[in-house]
Structure 1
Amino acid sequence: MARQSSALIYLFGADRAALALTGQQLAVFGFEVQSFDRVAELLAAMHSASPFAVLVDTVGADVIAQLETQIPLIKRLAHGPIFMAISGEPVSRQIALMRLGVTDFVNRPLDIQKLVARLDQQLDQSAPEPYRVLVVDDSDAMLKWLELTLGRAGMQVHKTHDPLDVLLLLERHKPEIVILDVYMPEYEGDEMARIIRQQPRFDGVPIVFLSTETNRPRQLMARSMGGDDFLVKNMPPEELVAVVSMTCERYRRLRQWMTRDSLTLLLNHTTLIESLETAVPRAVREQDVLSFVMIDIDHFKNINDQYGHMAGDHVIQSLARLLRLGLPPGALVGRYGGEEFAIVLPGVAPLHAAHLIDALRQRFAAFPQGAEKVATFYASFSAGVAPLQPGQSAQQLVEAADLALYDAKARGRNQVLLYSATGSPSGAQGK
């Protein structure tokens, strides 16, 4: 769930100080930023390197008058959204700007949290994660056809002709749909569907039966065993792709609603702990390292009291996005509760994990916080890192990281401590 972002953003406006602050804030979230206060320089840069997005601040009527004639050209060169910061612009004016090529409007004073959320959404749409599909069929020819058809549509396809592999593949690849052949030599599709439905962690994964069966009562009987849909094997490829895409998208949206924290879009507490309880035995089985991290925003009550709860929410959101952007692939990050976060780092040694989190701590502490009508301020966090020890349960691992976090806060906060094998935190990373 960690997404590395190095998208190039061009900022244009007459207020250099405001552009510098916006650029500093965007850079913390992993964006590459360049600022311009002259139209000619902006266009020259765009000819050299096309940005993902352009943000225009409309302060300075004379500069904007020059810029408006160039917006169609900027649109062609950007190949992405053009944001314009506005303040009380009438609808007619916004429509005129849209006709020139502006795609999005953001209100001034600029809310960096909302802007980053919009940029995140644009990035996700420009590079959507492929749907994950698991196909089970005893026919090699059918497996190859399904893999080719769905693969050409950009999907990630995993296949097997052995139904007994299904639970293992579900665990390993986490598919968003399972396509099951109804009739197989030893085990029928509806039998496997019932087995899948008895596993709570896979209960919501859509199951689509695939067969030459055209008898409607037989199809309904199979669906009553746990299937969500029934497809005929000789259906047109485009229909197969459409059905699989719609089914995966519905599951993805439902899954996000069920497993994500609404404020940060990180994993919620329950899902994070379930993920840790799955990751621990896997690490033991594969004889791999695993680190667990607990993070707490320092003096968060004071932030709420001094700047308001909206500013507090913005601090939480800024840290959440920083964690999403700064963690390696495979990391699982969630909101543990309130101002606390937790991270599961499979395959990451504890010392490496501590250095990784400390680098994020420094970036977060340098990030100018604030909300609309709120003065700029800075926040920090403390963290405890614990390595998975032999014979240790998931709950014991959480407790170890929590002890290291507690000690980091007791030692003055704004630091990362590593829980040692002897039971005492060590290896403090600088304040």
Structure 2
Amino acid sequence: RNTLNKFPFTIDFDNGKMTRRKTLQKQLEELRKNYQQKLPYILAELQHLFTRCNESQWKQEDIKEFYELVQKIAGSSGTFGFLQLCNQAHRLEIYLKNMIRNQISPDKLQVNQIHNLLEHLVLVAKETPLDNLKDFSEFTEFSSIILQQNRRVFLVEDDKDTANYLSLQLQHYGYQVTIFSDPKEFLEYFQNLEDPELFPCAIVMDISFPLSPKGGIEAITSLDFVYRYNIPVFFASSHSDLSYRLEAVRAGGAGFFQKPFGVEELVDALDNLLYRDQSEPYRILLLEDDLPTAVQYSNILHEAGMICRYELDPEKMLDSIASFHPDLLVMDMYMSINGLDLVKVIRQHSTYETLPIVFISTETSMDKQMVVLSHGVDGFLTKPIQPHHLVMTIYGKARKARRLKSLMIRDSLTGFLNHSSLKERLQIELARSRRESSILSFAMLDLDHFKKINDTYGHLTGDRVIKNLSRVLKQRLRKTDILGRYGGEEFGVIMLSTPKDKAKAVLEDVLHSFRNIDFSHNSEIFHTSFSGGIADSQSYSQASEINEAADRALYQAKKSGRNRICLA
């Protein structure tokens, strides 16, 4: 059976956005060609096992080895596009399965039937051309949308003052705004865009214009780009009656704002729709002892924006989980160690009790699939599986798992790490910085005069201020920086590989943006700021020490007049 794992092909992942789809298609074709070249050797090994079974009078261990190779061929051939070969191998697999289940040896007639099925399988492999796999454009477009990183917004608004105000406020939140004064200007610009990389992450479109009462809706419905690339459109109008809202929905609107509306409302909608999943890419561990299939699935999941590692040896499963920290484990059911037994071992470890597991297998028996699901497996996919089905299923399961985990360790208002999780993470990152001889900065931030805001404008407005500071921090800091809500109006920021003077410059820039944001309450506009204290690991090596030092620096900033950052 080792023939299946002698697969001399190394994937070279191309991270260039413009060539991703071509690169994937080329890699898949190479994988399929390599598998096609290996097929004669795989089938020769299968015939050799059939001969050995005959010579041993069909001992159970020989039947099982013969069956396992047939099963692998059924799974891998379908994966690589040999659908007729997959179907024929599956017929032989079903025939052998009954013998293994009942632990019987075949009689003469049954041996002849096995021989005929085997010969037909070999004939199909020689004569059947490679079937075409589904075009990958569908799921790669999907993945480009879910992983979209740009913060470009197209704003179509004929009131110049309103447009400039919204643009300026959105810029404080890290959005880049292009303003168009009417739908015609917008359409001319948009229709000349040929590169999807230059498309906006969202469109904010007024509905009514002087020469066209519903010109905004008409402009959007005339653009197939918007629907093809799933670009969210938010409509705005001074009309709130149902007819306007219905037309906005029918035009594919992702949201509707009645004028006048606050910029915070718009930013909330943009962030919730576009960036709710823009944390680290999902980490997928694939346990599959067939190398070609493992490489194929890893390639597909990588192209969809996930970090995928595969493990070929089931005995190394626990070590791989411990070192890789996956969001989701994808595994075959039938390997050298039974997949269900491995699941039971995983669930014995309290750390991995909630780790989501999805099986991918040639097993079609609904009864067996139900048994697997009853033992803590979260999903079951049957081989062969189309790439877009694989991506959609794994992405959905990983997203759900991460959200559930987030509820346990994150603050519900801001989405940041909660107090205990932040302190734990600080200890981990300090230990890492010592090992890597790098410098880590820890900042404590506190909103200025927050009690006065609560007393004057109410706690709901206070919550909006907290949420807006968290949003600005998230958008202005690096993805590698770790954010936490320390409690109340206090925040903690772990800035990796950053000495305190550079951390101070970054946070002063954040402070400048935040204090220019307009907050409103009952038509009254107000502004606020925050104070901060920073310490780094060059002077403090323990979590408690750096925490206390940053807190002292924060106190100094408050004492010195607030609205500033001080260093420990």
Fold-level match, TM-score > 0.5?
yes
CA contact (8 A) 2:440 2:497 kept: yes
Q: Pick from 244, 252, 256 the counterpart of residue 394 of structure 2.
A: 244
Match of 1:416 in 2: 565
The one-letter amino acid of 1:27's match is Q
Q: Amino acid of the residue matched to residue 174 of structure 2?
A: G
Q: Which amino acid letter does the alignment assign opposite residue 306 of structure 1?
A: T
Q: Report the TM-score when normalising by structure 1.
A: 0.79
**Secondary structure of 2:264's aligned partner:** helix
- Choose the corresponding residue for 2:527, options 378, 385, 389: 378
Change in CA separation of 1:73 and 1:218 when aligned onto 2, cut-off 3 Å? closer
Distance 1:254 1:31 in 2: 29
CA RMSD of aligned residues (A): 3.8
Aligned to 2:430: 280
Whether 1:368 aligns to 2:518 is: yes
Equivalent positions of 1:310-349 (< 5 A) are 310-349=460-499
Higher relative contact order structure (alpha carbons within 8 Å, sequence separation ≥ 6): 1
Q: TM-score, normalised by structure 2?
A: 0.62
| Contact 2:346–2:353 (CA under 8 A) maintained in structure 1 | no
Match of residue 34 from structure 1: 178
Contact 1:134–1:157 under 8 Å retained in 2: yes
Return the offset for 1:295: 0.9
How many angstroms apart in 2 are the aligned matches of 1:216 and 1:47? Answer: 51
Q: What's 1:268 paired with?
A: 418
Q: 2:73 is matched with which residue?
A: none
Q: Which sections of structure 2, spanning at least 5 residues, go unmatched? A: 1-147, 194-198
Structure 1 residues 396 and 168 mapped into 2: Cα distance closer, same or farther (>3 Å)?
Answer: farther
1:397 equivalenced with 2:397 (yes/no): no
Output the CA distance in 1 between the equivalents of 2:323 and 2:566: 32
Residue 23 of structure 1 and its aligned partner are, at CA, apart by 1.5
> Going by fraction, where is strand more abundant, 1 or 2?
1
* Aligned AA (1:228): V
| Counterpart selection for 2:355 from 202, 205, 220 | 205
For the 8 Å contact 1:163–1:192, the answer to whether it is kept is no
Matched residues, number: 412
| Paired residues of 1:75 and 1:82 also in contact (CA < 8 A) | no
- Counterpart AA for 2:155: Y
Superposition pairs of residues 18-417 of structure 1, within 5 angstroms: 18-47=162-191, 50-57=199-206, 62=210, 65=213, 67-68=215-216, 70-72=218-220, 75-76=223-224, 80-87=231-238, 89-99=240-250, 102-124=253-275, 130-151=281-302, 154-161=305-312, 170=321, 173-180=324-331, 190=341, 194=345, 198=349, 200=351, 202-208=352-358, 227-229=376-378, 234=383, 236-237=385-386, 241=391, 243-371=393-521, 373-389=522-538, 392-417=541-566
Structure 2 CA distance for partners of 1:32 and 1:337, relative to 1, 3 Å: same
Which has a greater percent of helix? 2
- The 3 A distance-change label for structure 1 pair 191 and 287 is farther
| Aligned-partner Cα distance in 1 for 2:279–2:533 | 33
Match of 1:422 in 2: none
Go from structure 1 to structure 2 and tell me whether the alpha carbon gap of 1:102 and 1:220 turns closer, same or farther (over 3 Å shift): closer
Paired with 1:45 and 1:408, the residues of 2 have a C-alpha distance of 48
Contact 1:182 1:210 in 2 (8 A): yes
Distance 1:101 1:355 in 2: 42
Deviation of 1:352 after TM superposition, in Å, equals 1.6
Higher Rg of the two aligned structures: 2
Question: CA separation of 1:220/1:124 partners in 2, compared to 1, >3 Å: closer, same or farther?
Answer: same
* 8 Å contact from structure 1 (residues 24, 367) kept in 2: no
User: Structure 1 residue 386: deviation in Å?
Assistant: 1.6
TM-aligned CA distance change 1:235 to 1:364, over 3 Å: same
Q: Which residue of structure 1 lines up, in the alignment, with residue 42 of structure 2?
A: none
Change (3 A) 1:75 1:370: farther
